[in-house]
A and B are shown apart, each in its own frame.
Chain A
Amino acid sequence: MNLGKWLALAAAGAVALLAAAAVRRRAAASAAGRRFLAHPTATPGVFILAFFVTIALAAPFVALDPNSMPGIVDLRDRPPSVLHPLGTDVYSRDVWSRIVYGARISLGIGALATLVAVTVGAGVGAVAGYFRRWVDAALMRLVDVGLSMPRIFLLLMAVALWERVPLAPLVLLIGLTGWFGTSRLVRAEVLSLREREFVAAAQALGAGPARVIFRHVLPNAAAPIIVSAALGIGNVMLLEAGLSFLGIGVPSPAPSWGSLIYDGWQHMAAAPWTSTFPGLAIALVVMALNAVGDALRDALDPRQEGP
């Protein structure tokens, strides 16, 4: 880390601050936004998320090459310093840079897998709630089965038995094991929405089921979908970390935060920073996501009480 990188990092921090301020300004204009801001942890959460997204996007400017090994003999397992703010690992790679590039993978997996999960969950929930009868019964029994197995167990089976899984199918698998809870929420919402007059009006005008579901019902069920997406990303990131820790997550040497913890674990005694800082990064981001998710729930869905 030379002076230029430190300056770029300061700039990234400033960008995140500006982003958080912009969100505050936009939110203050509406009643739901003010409920969002009333949460004391909402604004810090937005700032932390904005910061990590900024450094992930600007990785080449704020970090070194995550895979370069400048001095395998004299630079291995070094404690944090100005040149290596979070120390170096056993191959003399810079831990900060690996965390920054890891943010791309971990945040990316979190966002994409949650997108898959929420899309499937919303689709299944809407179909079950709209058609009711045997469609509803069959789909909800499927959900019962899915919820009765710990998710990590399902994933372990799927991932471990297909040998090494590349990144794209891994994301898909994580998403496809995470939609059960969302579909229940959406179903409950759709069950009550479908009895409303605007749905009857759309049907009377000759709209088919697909049009009614996608144009009339789902947009009105957006609140639970958005909230479960915000809370789902954090869950996926924790899950990815767990899978990588068991050695079957993101293939090495791609630096996901989970695989960083896993790699550092072997050298925990000699170089605790290699494992500690990636874990702290996960905890910070998941905490921010939970805070924003809770605030969003209060803002968008005042009926659904959370802790």
Chain B
Amino acid sequence: MTAWLVRRLAAAMAIVFAVVTITFCVIHLAHGTPFLPGPDQDVDPQVVARLRQQFGLDRPLPAQYVKYLWALLHGELGESFYLRRPVADALADAIPPTVTLAGAALLIDFLLGLACGVYQAVRARRFADIALGNLALFLNAMPTFWLGLVLLLVFGQWLRWFPVAGMRDPVLCPTIAGARCTVDVLWHLALPALTLGLVGAAGTARYQRAAMLEVIDQDFVRTARAKGLGEGRVVLVHTLRNALLPLITLFGLAFPFLLTGAVLVETVFAWPGMGRLSVAAILQRDYPVVVAAALVASAMVTLGNLLADVLYAVADPRIRARSERA
């Protein structure tokens, strides 16, 4: 198990390294350079040249790459071109909001998806199952950001139940700390988390329903019923526990989905996270931030997959045996 884990971790690091290299090459080889004035701006070319020299952009690409890797090995992500601060600081500000959003969305995704999936399996092929199933198909087919826009329009603009943008109240929050502020953040979090969570839950419910239906006809479930257990206990304890494995796969798949969704949903709700930071950095050609964002994103995806595999091994003795043999 340990040897397997070490091998997987090494593979994950190799993948992240490859992503950093590819990102570095793509953005540096791309057409257009940072610090290039627009057609309507009158900037002294000497200033541009000096800036390029200051950030080391005048040196050949392999030299820049080696320098970047050397700094990266020492844990330095460089200085942002536009934000005038170290990239690590910008990431430190942007990662917590994204983790909050993704965590809340994941919670809604799995709780709601699990509940719907179990309920649908119990009511299989009845009206409630078909209605929920079609609703899930519809939700699953929506562009995430469009659902966000619709929720924003209905609950933010018309009903005015929730704020329309940002993460905290700019007037209230810096002055009043503590519990009130946490409530304020949660209140701002509701719509973006619901947007991401609902679309995710639609997928989770479909998988969970299928997994439940596969288990619910098996002999041990009939035995549980035959020995006189209540239906609630049969479904929630005997069936559900054995139908939870596919959920681990979904957990691994959720990371790319959440990151992609975060890019768009953060833009809709002006949520100050990784997604907005990386979109802005790409559009401004802020090379160090782009590479760092790619590093964080690919690390999250690969580690998510690894975590799912580990959870699989923990939950399923058959898989544990196989990975020990390999």
Contacts and interface: CB of A to CB of B under 8 A. Distances in A.
Chains A and B bind each other: yes
Interface of A: 40-41, 141, 144-145, 147-153, 156-158, 160-163, 234, 238, 241-242, 245-246, 248, 258, 261, 265, 268-269, 272, 275-276, 279, 282-287, 289-291, 305-307
Contacts of A275: 146, 149
Contacts of A283: 138, 141-143, 146
A158 to B, nearest CB: 7
Interface string B150-161: 101100010000
A41 B118 CA distance: 21
A276 B150 contact: yes
B125 to A, nearest CB: 10
A305 B211 CA distance: 11
A150 B301 contact: yes
Given A156-B282, A246-B279, A145 B141 contact: no
Given A145-B18, A282-B142, A153 B263 contact: yes
A153 B278 contact: yes
B283 A160 contact: yes
Given A150-B256, A152-B260, A241-B146, A161 B31 contact: yes
Main SS class of interface, B = helix
Contacts of A148: 15-16, 19, 298, 301-302, 305
27 contacts: A40-B130, A145-B22, A148-B16, A148-B302, A149-B297, A149-B301, A150-B259, A150-B301, A152-B260, A153-B263, A153-B293, A153-B297, A156-B282, A157-B27, A157-B294, A160-B283, A242-B143, A242-B145, A242-B264, A246-B267, A261-B143, A268-B149, A268-B152, A283-B143, A289-B141, A307-B209, A307-B210
Given A148-B19, A279-B142, A289-B141, 7 more contacts: A147-B256, A148-B301, A148-B305, A153-B278, A161-B26, A245-B264, A246-B267
A141 B15 CA distance: 8
A248 B279 CA distance: 11
B259 A290 contact: no
Interface of B: 11, 14-16, 18-19, 22-23, 26-27, 30-32, 130, 134, 137-138, 140-146, 149-150, 152-153, 157, 206-207, 209-210, 256, 259-260, 263-264, 267, 278-279, 282-283, 285, 290, 293-294, 297-298, 301-302, 305
A152 B263 contact: yes
Nearest to B304: A148
B137 A290 contact: yes
Nearest to B146: A279
A282 B146 contact: yes
A47 B138 CA distance: 16
Contact of B138 (A160, A238, A287): A287
Contacts of A261: 143, 145-146, 149
A145 B19 contact: yes
User: Most chain-B Cβ atoms within 10 A of its Cβ — which of A150, A258, A275, A285?
Assistant: A150
Contacts of A151: 256, 260
A275 to B, nearest CB: 6
Contact of A272 (B140, B153, B264): B153
Contacts of B140: 287, 290
A152 B210 CA distance: 29
Chain A facing B: main interface SS:
helix
Contacts of A153: 259-260, 263, 278, 293-294, 297
B305 to A, nearest CB: 8
Which 5 residue pairs spanning A and B have beta carbons closest together?
A: A161-B30, A279-B146, A286-B141, A287-B141, A307-B206
Contact of B207 (A145, A152, A242, A307): A307
Contacts of A234: 141
Contact of B149 (A156, A163, A279): A279
A41 B136 CA distance: 13
Contacts of A161: 26-27, 30-32, 282, 285
B109 to A, nearest CB: 15
A284 to B, nearest CB: 8
B143 A149 contact: no
Contacts of A238: 143
A165 to B, nearest CB: 11
Nearest to B133: A41
A289 B141 CA distance: 9
Contacts of A248: 283
B263 A150 contact: yes
Contact of B137 (A150, A272, A287, A305): A287
A158 B26 contact: yes
Contact of B297 (A41, A150, A242, A269): A150
A213 B143 CA distance: 38
B108 to A, nearest CB: 19
B133 to A, nearest CB: 9
Contacts of A163: 31-32
Nearest to A242: B264
A277 to B, nearest CB: 11
A272 B152 CA distance: 11
